[in-house]
């Protein structure tokens, strides 16, 4: 329970622009701030924040309100939780009494799950730092990867004891309802004993026992899930190197990104995000000094994840290992990024390196320089990859179609025309032919996916401004140059 004077103190300290900018990159415009609306798929900044009135408002979807309304809507927080969040941000102390068991029961399902996850993250961390096995097995693993103490704390890494009921018993002793251990996926039910005989009663076992623990945080910093990595001494006979929390009321795999909570400020500041595959890639890059990085376990990004990132930046660089698997992965799922109006670049690391190993053997400055010198515009990359050394006319035509199809997902017309012109030069194909193909794709995209036809104006047969292709200048840079010229 939070008393009224404390609520008043919290509301007095709260600055709406500071709260909103935790989630949205804001730009000053007059006395207000504007940014991309986090509540709808916004491409023109329609979200306005008024510091003087203490409110925010979207002129397209109408959502907004004061800081409390904003947090409740965006982060699905309860009213007391929004207050707690603000109190934490503005370092205002709240005197809250411990909940009784009865109250714990009454707390909403969601809340109880967050509470259990938060407790579990601290429990795993405590084991890592203080338990004999935690230090000997878990800490030895993180030390072996070269992780520093501050980084281990920043990502709240932990260790789960090998005993299959260790967490379940500790949670029970601390007064937590086993139902929520199962609901969050920390534990799972079994109805057989170790010999495989039906025991007649449900028993719960820990999901992550014996694993190094990587908690997943929501964008506002709540623990929503865990990833557990099996450690080398136990790899025999275990097929899955990583185990993750299953989807639950509070965790939807396709709506979260690992590391976003720790990275969001750097993403907004650098106006760019690096996409990698694994937990250790994210953590090693942080430790090396590159903090605008998130991971998605190697699968293609979902539209929810792309929009989540788009709140902070429009520029994404996909980092891959320089092997064949990496190159093929780079071609997957990229059209959706273009469709969501992200500027996409790809970066391949030197042979035998992943972001983790590269970050461990280079300084931040060296890493940044490598990125600067080697990142490639996605369309250019795809054109070169598919057409290089391809002499077979049928295969060439398939490749050209595939590239033009990717270009058809770019919604900015100037950028699209620039890409097309660039490709016609690179492929040695008449531009008018490419424009016809492009328009067919655009028509199909529109019919298949977007009933809203106005979003895709057709390409012009005679582009009014035909930019010269200059080597070393990306189409994105060219397009913004053309846009500036048109505006002048
Ligand atoms: Zn909106």
Q: How many A from CA of 10 to the centre of ligand 1?
A: 26
Give residue 37 CA to ligand 1 midpoint distance, Å: 5
The sign of the CA dihedral 73, 74, 78, 82 is negative
pLDDT at 386: 85
Phi/psi at 240 (5° precision):
-95, 120
Helix (H, G, I), strand (E, B) or coil at 286: helix
Q: String of b and e for 139-162 (b: at least 16 CB within 10 Å)?
A: bebbeeeebeeebbeebbbbbbbe
pLDDT at residue number 468: 36
Q: What is the pLDDT along the chain (488 residues), one digit of tens a residue?
A: 687 778 888 988 899 999 999 999 999 998 899 999 998 888 889 999 998 888 999 998 888 999 999 998 888 778 888 999 999 999 988 876 666 666 666 567 888 899 999 999 999 999 999 999 999 999 999 999 999 999 999 999 999 999 999 999 999 999 999 999 999 999 999 877 666 667 666 789 999 999 999 999 998 889 999 999 998 655 555 557 889 999 998 899 988 999 999 998 888 888 899 999 889 999 999 999 999 999 987 677 888 899 889 888 889 999 988 777 777 777 777 888 988 888 999 998 988 888 999 999 999 999 999 999 999 999 888 888 888 878 888 988 898 999 999 999 888 888 899 999 988 988 888 999 999 999 999 888 777 754 444 444 444 444 333 333 334 455 555 555 544 544 44
How far away, in angstroms, is 300 Cα from ligand 1 center?
26
Model pLDDT, residue 102? 67
Distance 47 CA to ligand 1 centre (A): 6
User: How many Cβ atoms from other residues are within 10 Å of residue 61's Cβ?
Assistant: 14
Measured distance CA(327)–CA(365) in Å, rounded: 25
**CA 69 – ligand 1 centroid, Å:** 14
Q: Separation of 162 CA from ligand 1 center, angstroms?
A: 47
CB 377 within 8 A of CB 345: yes
- Taking the CA atoms of 29, 32, 33 and 37 in sequence, report the sign of the dihedral they define: negative
Q: Is the pTM of this model over 0.85?
A: no
Pick from 14, 18, 21: nearest CA to 267: 21
Cα of 175 to ligand 1 centre, how many Å? 42
What's the CA-to-centroid distance between 58 and ligand 1, angstroms? 5
Ligand 1 centre distance from Cα of residue 60 (Å): 5
Residue 22 phi/psi, 5-degree rounding, is -70, -20
Distance (angstroms) between ligand 1 centre and the Cα of 75 equals: 15
Torsion of CA 330, 333, 334, 340, to 10 degrees: -160
Going by C-alpha positions, the residue among 475, 403, 467 that lies closest to residue 441 is 403
Going by C-alpha positions, the residue among 347, 360, 480 that lies closest to residue 412 is: 480
Using only C-alpha atoms, the chain has a radius of gyration, in whole angstroms, of 25
- For residue 36, report the distance from its CA to the centre of ligand 1, in Å: 8
Q: Tell me the sheet residues that pair with 316.
A: 273, 344
What's the pLDDT score for residue 298? 64
Pairing of the two strands 211-217 and 273-276: unpaired
Task: Look up residue 417 and give its two tokens.
Answer: 């025309």
pLDDT at 311: 80
Contact between residue 330 and residue 346 where contact means Cβ atoms under 8 Å apart? yes
Euclidean distance between CA atoms 209 and 19, whole angstroms: 38
C-alpha to C-alpha distance for 265 and 268, rounded to whole angstroms: 5
Residues with Cβ–ion distance below 5 A, ligand 1? 37, 39-40, 58, 60-61
User: Which pLDDT belongs to residue 105?
Assistant: 61
Q: What is the edge-to-edge ordering of all strands in the sheet holding 273-276?
A: 293-295, 273-276, 315-320, 343-348, 376-377
Residue 107 is predicted with a pLDDT of 61
Handedness of CA 237, 242, 245, 247 (dihedral sign): negative
Model pLDDT, residue 226? 97
270, 264, 282: which is closest to 359 by C-alpha?
282
CA of 365 from ligand 1 middle (Å) equals 38
Query: In the prediction, which pLDDT does 323 show?
Result: 75
């Amino acid at each position: 329970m939070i008393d009224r004077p404390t609520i008043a103190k919290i509301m007095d300290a709260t600055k709406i622009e500071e709260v909103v900018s935790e989630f949205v990159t804001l730009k000053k415009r007059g006395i207000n701030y504007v940014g991309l609306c986090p509540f709808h798929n916004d491409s023109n900044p329609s979200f306005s924040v008024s510091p003087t009135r203490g409110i925010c408002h979207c002129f397209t979807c109408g959502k907004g309100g004061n800081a409390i309304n904003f947090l409740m809507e965006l982060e699905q927080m309860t009213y007391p939780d929004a207050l707690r969040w603000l109190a934490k941000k503005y370092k205002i102390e709240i005197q809250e009494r411990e909940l009784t068991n009865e109250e714990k029961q009454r707390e909403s399902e969601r809340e109880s799950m967050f509470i259990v996850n938060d407790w579990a993250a601290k429990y795993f961390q405590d084991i890592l730092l203080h338990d004999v096995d935690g230090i000997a097995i878990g800490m030895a693993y993180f030390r072996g990867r070269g992780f520093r103490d501050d980084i281990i704390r920043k990502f709240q890494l932990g260790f789960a004891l090998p005993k299959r009921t260790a967490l379940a018993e500790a949670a029970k002793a601390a007064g937590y309802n086993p139902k929520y251990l199962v609901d969050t996926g920390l534990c799972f039910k079994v109805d057989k004993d170790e010999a495989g005989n039906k025991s007649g009663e449900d028993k719960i076992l820990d999901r992550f026992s014996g694993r190094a623990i990587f908690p997943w945080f929501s964008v506002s910093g709540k623990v929503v899930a865990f990833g557990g990595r099996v450690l080398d001494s136990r790899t025999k006979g275990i097929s899955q190197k990583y185990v993750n929390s299953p989807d639950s009321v509070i965790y939807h795999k396709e709506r979260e990104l690992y590391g976003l909570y720790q990275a969001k400020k750097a993403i907004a500041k650098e106006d760019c995000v690096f996409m990698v595959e694994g937990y250790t890639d994210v953590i090693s890059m942080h430790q090396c000094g590159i903090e605008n990085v998130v991971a998605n376990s190697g699968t293609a990004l979902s539209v929810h994840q792309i929009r989540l990132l788009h709140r902070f930046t429009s520029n994404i660089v996909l980092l891959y290992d320089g092997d064949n698997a990496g190159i093929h992965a780079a071609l997957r799922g990229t059209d959706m990024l273009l469709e969501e109006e992200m500027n996409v670049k790809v970066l391949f690391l030197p042979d035998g390196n992943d972001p983790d190993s590269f970050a461990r053997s280079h300084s931040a400055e060296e890493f940044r320089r490598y990125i600067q010198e080697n990142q490639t515009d996605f369309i250019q990359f795809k054109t070169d990859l598919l057409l290089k050394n391809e002499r077979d006319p049928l295969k060439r035509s398939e490749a050209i179609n595939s590239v033009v199809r990717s270009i058809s997902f770019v919604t900015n017309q100037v950028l699209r025309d620039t890409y097309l012109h660039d490709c016609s030069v690179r492929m040695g194909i008449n531009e008018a032919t490419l424009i016809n193909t492009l328009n067919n794709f655009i028509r199909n995209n529109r019919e298949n996916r977007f009933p809203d036809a106005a979003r895709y104006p057709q390409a012009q047969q005679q582009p009014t401004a035909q930019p010269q292709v200059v080597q070393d200048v990306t189409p994105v840079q060219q397009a913004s140059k053309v846009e500036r010229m048109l505006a002048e």
